Structure 1
Amino acid sequence: MVSSVKALLSSVVDYAGLFPPAKLELQPAMANYAQYQTTAYNWMLGRFILPISRLQEFEQLLPDYPAQWLLSIIMTGDVQKAIAILKSLNNPKIAIASLEFPPLPATEIKNILPLIPPDVESFFEIPFNSDLQSYLPLLQHPRAAAKIRTGGVTVDAFPNFAQLYQIIFAFAQAQIPFKATAGLHHPLLSKHPVTSEPNSPIALMQGFLNVAVLAALIYQQKITPQIAVEILQETSPDNFHFTSDRLSWKNYQLNIAEIKSARTQFFRSFGSCSFQEPIDDLKTLKLLP
């Protein structure tokens, strides 16, 4: 395994098999996550994304699986009650790593932040059309982070290049970690059906390599907005190079320490309803054995 690939993609895929377009039932999604932990690519696997509304069902199925569960909980309903339920969990197989919130008014986020347990990170979804400046000070809270939606099951759910690089630049400038969700199944910018249904519409989907490399270069203050657009528009794997001590896109380089820093401090992960699809594509690009 090339060290720079591993540094860039360690724990990068939060498995969201319960969500569209896969939309699996809980049991097969859990079986997948448990099986992925046994593969040679388990180092890429991050959290299992679980709605709080299905936590009880999850606990009932848990004895069937020997795996350890790193959970990211999708929060809905009464936040105070939900956090009390999470605090009462007492199972050595479960670790609550993060909470994920839907788009909320800034005032509501301000009220939620004091309720968050000190060892849990919270991702607040920030729509691209929101008043970003009203959210940035709140997201600088030690337990807060941002979440951006990079796709969905409709063509208009995919952000354009300007929306994406502008929000990532804003997060970097404010030192706010972020994760992405939806639409990043493939390494490089490319066109794909948005669902598995016949006659599905086709969307231009951002690549997770494009986004991960872009985020690292922005975080390390190595590129301008004009270059950011070029990276997001990159479709050729020949312009990305990974070696034992660095990665590069064209003439822009990051060493291993810079990559790890950007992943730890800035770009946390992306949610995907498929874990296998990103792996298969990386194998095709010869970035994975």
Structure 2
Amino acid sequence: MGAMSTAALFTALVDDAGLFPPTSLHMSEALARHRRDQEHGGPVLTHRFLCPADRIDALRREEFTPRRIGLILHTPEPPPFDDLPVDIIEAVLPSDTSVGAFARQLASRVPHGVRLFVEVPPHRVGGDVPEGVGLKVRCGGATAEAFPPVEHLAAFIRSCAEQEIPFKATAGLHHAVRHFDPALGTDRHGFLNLVLAVCEAVERRDPAQVLRTTDATRLVALARTVPPETAKHARELLVSYGSCNTAAPLADLRELGLIPE
């Protein structure tokens, strides 16, 4: 796999989730960091700023506006955002409804050109996802219980690949390679594992083994042998993931030799 194809795996992969735990930056701090990242222009970053709907007014009060904003809803009623460059809306699926019904409920509030991603539990992926709507999967959180088992995450990825459903990921993907977190007493999923698991699913192989491995050398070797078309297809499925730390993914990929210094 050439350098161009390797780049395809990681280009525009990481959304800026600096407002969210565990980093939880103040708005001014988060935007200052985002501005520095944007000026640097690193290709691994999407340069999309993720903002909860209830903090959108605080964002408006700042002098700097990101070039792309992902609006994170906590209620089915998004605030007005016509004056902001929102290109993605993310919302959690209510427990008593389907993705299709929820998407239809939001349809009149989501302008043309703005993509909707609905967060679902990884074990709940049905066939009712409307065309043009994506899913979102949570890969971790503040407790061990928030980290989905490999089997659930693998089933989610496999289902998205089989149905050609694009998805985003969030939470817990702090480093490239799966590793044990002694503070939580559980294994954390790695974002490199995730990217390569999607590649496995694209090629109709079980992604669970790649999700489970903690062998960085093996993952790097696998990344370097992904066919270009597989990489392209995989990244059409895995749109991006949110990271509260925008420096760590770059540092990990550089240390592994997968992006230039």
TM-score (norm 2): 0.89
Q: Which residue of 2 aligns with 1:59?
A: 60
Q: Which residue of 2 aligns with 1:240?
A: 219
Q: Which residue of 2 aligns with 1:44?
A: 44
**Aligned-residue offset at 1:114:** 4.3
Per-residue deviation, residues 76-104 of structure 1 (Å, max 9, x unmatched): 3352x62xx123x1xxxx42110010232
Distance in 1 separating the partners of 2:72 and 2:251: 27
Distance in 2 separating the partners of 1:167 and 1:72: 22
Amino acid at match of 1:214: A
How is 1:148-227 mapped onto 2 (pairs within 5 angstroms)? 148-192=137-181, 200-219=183-202, 221-223=203-205, 225=206
2:139–2:173 contact (8 Å) kept in structure 1: yes
Instruction: Work out which of the residue numbers 71, 77, 84 in structure 2 matches 1:73.
Output: 71
1:19–1:273 contact (8 Å) kept in structure 2: yes
Distance in 2 separating the partners of 1:77 and 1:128: 21
2:119–2:136 contact (8 Å) kept in structure 1: yes
**Aligned-residue offset at 1:241:** 4.4
**Aligned-residue offset at 1:39:** 2.6
1:140–1:175 contact (8 Å) kept in structure 2: no
Give the RMSD, CA atoms, in angstroms: 2.1
Distance in 1 separating the partners of 2:211 and 2:137: 16
Instruction: Work out which of the residue numbers 240, 251, 254 in structure 2 matches 1:283.
Output: 254
Q: Which residue of 2 aligns with 1:270?
A: 241
Where does structure 1 lack aligned partners over 5 or more consecutive residues?
A: 194-199
1:4–1:247 contact (8 Å) kept in structure 2: no
Q: Which residue of 2 aligns with 1:197?
A: none
Amino acid at match of 1:277: A
Q: Give the ranges of 4+ consecutive aligned residues of structure 1 lying more than 6 Å apart after TM superposition.
A: none
Instruction: Work out which of the residue numbers 231, 234, 237 in structure 1 matches 2:210.
Output: 231
Per-residue deviation, residues 227-276 of structure 1 (Å, max 9, x unmatched): x221112222222346xxx944xxxx43223312321x211011111111
SS in 2 for 1:115: coil
Mapped pair 1:100 → 2:51:
no
Identical aligned pairs, as a percentage?
27
Number of aligned residue pairs: give it.
Answer: 254
**Aligned-residue offset at 1:68:** 4.2
2:117–2:167 contact (8 Å) kept in structure 1: yes
TM-score (norm 1): 0.81
Instruction: Work out which of the residue numbers 227, 237, 261 in structure 1 matches 2:233.
Output: 261
Amino acid at match of 1:45: L
Q: Which residue of 2 aligns with 1:24?
A: 25
